[in-house]
Amino acid sequence: MSDAQVGLVTATPLIMIFAGALRAMGVLSTTATMAAIALSAAIAVALFFTQ
């Protein structure tokens, strides 16, 4: 696994956790939270396999 892939595996869950925390605090709507999680996962998967 390359350094870039390790970074993706590390950063993506942190982004998802941060989005969940913002939802819990009432900053993000449920739709925005789901969009953030889905898009960050899709971007991470696309970048993971192109590295």
User: Reduced to 3 states, what is the DSSP secondary structure of residue 13?
Assistant: helix
Q: Could you list the mean pLDDT of each consecutive 10-residue stretch along the chain, which spans 51 residues?
A: 92 96 96 97 94 79
- Give the residue numbers spanning the domain of 14: 3-50
- pLDDT at position 9 is 94
- pLDDT at position 11 is 95
Do the Cβ atoms of 33 and 51 come closer than 8 Å? no
User: Reduced to 3 states, what is the DSSP secondary structure of residue 24?
Assistant: helix
Total number of domains in the chain: 1
CA atoms within 13 Å, Cβ hemisphere of 48: 15
- pLDDT at position 17 is 97
- pLDDT at position 10 is 95
The residue type of 7 is G
Q: Which two tokens stand for residue 25?
A: 């605090």
Predicted TM-score of the model (pTM): 0.86
